[in-house]
RNA sequence: GCCCCCAUCGUCUAGUGGCCUAGGACGCCGCCCUUUCAAGGCGGUAACGGGGAUUCGAACUCCCCUGGGGGCACCA
């Protein structure tokens, strides 16, 4: 057996957890749990200007909501600047890095010029081999000092990716890069390399957008004296519909949004696991435990996946239907309380959720479906389009009169409430006429099973709504 | 512009030289069930980007092209 697996999820706290990051977190977590390894949470907040502690908290909350627990951390890189700076100093002394006195503006200008001339952008190496005198002069001018890592001028960099095989690039295409900013804060590459060494990370699973930066991190690690690099696995990206970058335009992209829209964490986790990975038996609806048991790296696909909200909706419905009623009620309750507050009758609510469960896509959807039971009577409205449709129904007034008469005296149970015999008795078409029942009692011509719904509505309210509709004709 | 990665139904994917007249899932369409809408059942639609090469035989191997994505920051 190989050494214990140690993986980490290392987000930058610059915003909410995006589905792409969440998928990366998930795969790291799955791999750790599958192998019995350690899952570490590390916050890469080296960009002090953009990082915010509220995002650090928010990210943790979201990971917990998804059900991803970590064994170690969160470790904030902002607490370890001294360590990174000391490492940079060592690299400086040993000649792996050098001091750079070019200003950001100068570099930007030179890059733009290079682009105009059709040359490749990237640092031009101006400060690479300054003499002591030159350095002193630049310092004398009051110029800021950054530290740059010196990349090889020739040869190739190659590493073996766990899911892509050998990945290699010509060193000449990778220019010297900054590892310490002129304001003396460390940059991602440095902190990342140092921490992965110190935390003894064995496997780095991250998005494919980072594949090019791996060569630089690996070179840094070697310069820092690390002889055994971790295994790298670059995960396919998650794209929006049409293959464009997944963005707000395509609907929810932050996990918090999915939570607020009434998606179950188990469904989101299940769907995310399917972005780039699939179970061998093809059975896609899975409990988290089952995913953990089956997950492995060689099942990960190579190509990017497009995020499909429709499939997520279906998946969420599957998970909603798999939930025991009591659990589902607990899940929907916050959404319902939010809408109906004290008007919510828990017993009625439970029965209504049971009716909604087989036809629900999201928890919010369920909360909306039971609305007709809990809104104040003076706020109850029949959907205009539905009213338009049902008002054309043949002999609607006769039917409503008969229904009122029947419901005023019948026993109050769904069986006795059943209006179909009455409709047939009047010689009216059942399906068509039932549309009116839905609209008049629930506000829309589609809804929860009519007679159970009427039973929950109570005799009094039902009669009131029928009479109001009759009066409106 | 240069570099890197990728390439099977609309989408997620199975497929690792013959089991493929390419399988499953979402979606879509039809039928059944049915008090609406769903759910469920049954059936259908739909793909190996193009061209070479290797081979008795290529979705699967190799090369070229094309296409898509990513990167080339004192962001991560």
Q: What is the pLDDT of residue A28?
A: 98
Question: Considering A180, A200, A217, which residue would you say is the last residue of a domain?
Answer: A180
In a shared domain, residues A142 and A226? no
Considering the domain architecture, whether residues A196 and A156 belong to the same structural domain is answered as no
Contact A230, A202 (CB under 8 A): yes
Bridge partner list, A42: A75
Quote the tokens at residue A439: 């609209």
Look up the protein residue whose alpha carbon has the minimum distance to the C1' of B34: A431
Task: Identify whether A270 is part of a domain.
Answer: no
One domain for residues A65 and A194: yes
> A240 is written with which tokens?
């929006």
Round to a whole number and report the distance in Å from the CA of A300 to the C1' of B42: 33
- A1 band by pLDDT with thresholds 50, 70 and 90: very low
- Name the pLDDT band for A325 (thresholds 50, 70, 90): very high
> The whole model's pTM is what?
0.95
Tokens linked to A387 = 């009213």
Residue A92 domain-assigned (yes or no): yes
Contacting residues for A430 by C-beta, under 8 A, at least 6 apart:
A420, A423, A424
Longest dimension (CA), chain A: 107
| pLDDT tens, position by position, A15-39 | 999 999 999 999 999 999 999 999 9
Residues A32 and A52: beta-carbon distance below 8 Å? no
Strand B bases with any atom < 7 A from protein Cβ: 1-8, 10-16, 23-27, 35-40, 68-76
- Verify whether residue A248 is a known catalytic residue: yes
> For residue A141, is it within any domain?
yes
Last residue in a domain, options A203, A218, A239:
A239
Beta carbons within 8 Å of A436's beta carbon, 6+ residues apart? A390, A393, A396, A399, A400, A445, A469
Domain containing residue A194: 6-75+190-239
Q: List Cβ neighbours of A400 (8 Å cut-off, separation of 6 or more).
A: A436, A440, A466, A469, A470, A473
Q: How far, in Å, is the CA of A165 from the C1' of nucleotide B70?
A: 17
Residue with smallest Cα–C1' gap to B13? A278
Residue A243's pLDDT band (cuts 50, 70, 90): confident
Judge if A384 and A439 occupy the same domain: yes
Residue-averaged pLDDT of chain A: 94
pLDDT digits (tens, 9 = 90+) for A388-416: 999 988 899 999 999 999 999 999 999 99
Residue A454 φ then ψ, to 5°? -65, -40
Of chain A, the end-to-end C-alpha distance in Å amounts to 78
Q: Residues A200, A64: one domain?
A: yes
CA–C1' gap, A108 and B73, in angstroms:
9
Domain-located, residue A348: no
**Whether A355 contacts A453, CB under 8 Å:** yes
Domain total in chain A: 3
A98 and A163 share one domain: yes
> Pick the catalytic residue: A248, A311, A361, A392?
A248
Based on the domain organization, do A404 and A455 belong to the same domain?
Answer: yes
Residue A30 placed within a domain: yes
């Amino acid at each position: 057996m190989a050494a214990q697996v140690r993986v980490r999820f290392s987000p930058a706290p610059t915003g909410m957890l995006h589905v792409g990051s969440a998928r990366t977190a998930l795969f790291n977590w799955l791999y750790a749990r599958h192998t019995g390894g350690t899952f570490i949470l590390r916050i890469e907040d080296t960009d002090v200007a953009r990082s915010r502690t509220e995002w650090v908290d928010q990210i943790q909350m979201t990971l917990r909501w998804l059900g991803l627990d970590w064994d170690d951390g969160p470790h904030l890189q902002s607490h370890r600047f001294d360590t990174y700076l000391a490492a940079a100093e060592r690299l400086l002394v040993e000649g792996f890095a050098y001091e750079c006195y070019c200003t950001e503006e100068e570099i930007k200008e030179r890059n733009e010029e290079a682009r105009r001339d059709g040359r490749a952008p990237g640092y031009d190496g101006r400060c690479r081999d300054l003499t002591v005198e030159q350095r002193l002069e630049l310092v004398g001018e009051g110029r800021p000092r950054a530290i740059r890592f010196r990349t090889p001028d020739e040869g190739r960099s190659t590493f073996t990716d766990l899911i892509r095989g050998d990945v290699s690039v010509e060193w000449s295409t990778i220019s010297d890069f900054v590892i310490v900013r002129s304001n003396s804060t460390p940059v991602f590459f440095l902190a990342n390399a140092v921490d992965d060494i110190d935390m003894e990370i064995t496997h780095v699973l991250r998005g494919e957008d980072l594949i090019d930066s791996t060569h630089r991190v690996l070179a840094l690690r070697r310069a820092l004296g690390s002889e055994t690099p971790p295994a790298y696995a670059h995960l396919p990206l998650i794209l929006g519909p049409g293959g464009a970058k997944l963005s707000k335009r395509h609907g929810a992209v932050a996990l918090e949004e999915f939570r607020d829209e009434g998606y179950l964490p188990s469904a989101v986790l299940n769907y995310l696991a399917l972005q780039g990975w699939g179970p061998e038996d093809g059975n896609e609806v899975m409990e988290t435990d089952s995913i953990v048991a089956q997950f492995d790296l060689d099942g990960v696909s190579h190509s990017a996946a497009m995020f499909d909200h429709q499939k997520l909706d279906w998946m969420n419905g599957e998970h909603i239907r798999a939930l025991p009623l009591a659990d589902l009620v607990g899940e929907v309750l916050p959404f319902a309380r939010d809408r109906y507050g004290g008007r919510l009758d828990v017993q009625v609510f439970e029965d209504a959720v049971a009716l909604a469960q087989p036809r629900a896509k999201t928890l919010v959807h369920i909360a909306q479906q039971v609305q007709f039971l809990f809104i104040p009577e003076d706020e109850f409205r029949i959907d205009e389009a539905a009213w338009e449709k049902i008002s054309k129904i043949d002999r609607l007034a006769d039917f409503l009169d008969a229904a009122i008469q029947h419901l005023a005296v019948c026993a109050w149970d769904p069986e006795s409430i059943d209006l179909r015999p009455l409709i047939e008795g009047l010689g009216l078409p059942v399906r068509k006429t039932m549309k009116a029942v839905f609209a008049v009692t629930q506000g829309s011509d589609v809804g929860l099973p009519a007679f159970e719904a009427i039973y929950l509505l109570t005799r009094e309210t039902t009669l009131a709504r029928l009479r109001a509709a009759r009066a409106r004709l």
